[in-house]
Amino acid sequence: MGESHRCSVHLALGGGAVADVLLWKNWFGSAALLIGSTALWLLFERAGYNLLSFISNVLLLLVVILFFWAKSALLLNRPLPPVPNLDISEESVVKGADEMRVYVNRALSIVHDIAIGGNLGLFVQIGFFGLVGDILYWKFLQLPYPGIYWGSS
């Protein structure tokens, strides 16, 4: 008959640090993952917070911290915070704009085919995949939480 090949769950999960965290061999990392995923779930799902607001508030907090750090450094004769100069060259902007133009023109031609050309099949496909994508995007944060929670018991 057929030979059975046995493999441990640890090896099936890659056998590294990720497997250690998922199998609770690294207790601190697993607890941090559980607490972090619970906090994110509460923040995004229960509190109604969205990702764009979260990123904006984190960046605003970073700017405020750097501002007060710089002002206190001047008053206390300490070194300024180590922030690199953020300069974007003109050629990189032009290159990015050229790349973006190609994608925008392609998207506009697809929209033209749907609106003017009457491509009903493409219209139905976009509607279906848009609906599925919307459902998956909003439920994505709810899916990992029960697995992490139930895996810990």
Residue 147 is predicted with a pLDDT of: 63
Between 63 and 6, whose confidence is greater? 63
How many other CB atoms are there within 10 angstroms of residue 22's CB atom? 19
Residue 141 is predicted with a pLDDT of: 57
Residue 53 is predicted with a pLDDT of: 84
Whole-angstrom distance, CA of residue 151 vs CA of residue 62: 35
- The pTM of this model reads 0.42
The whole-chain average pLDDT of the chain stands at: 82
Mean pLDDT of 89-103: 93
Name the residue with tokens 């031609």. 109
Q: If we measure between CA atoms, which residue out of 70, 71, 52 comes closest to residue 60?
A: 52
Q: Are 72 and 78 in contact (CB under 8 A)?
A: yes
Q: Are 21 and 30 in contact (CB under 8 A)?
A: yes
Residue 140: is its pLDDT beyond 90? no
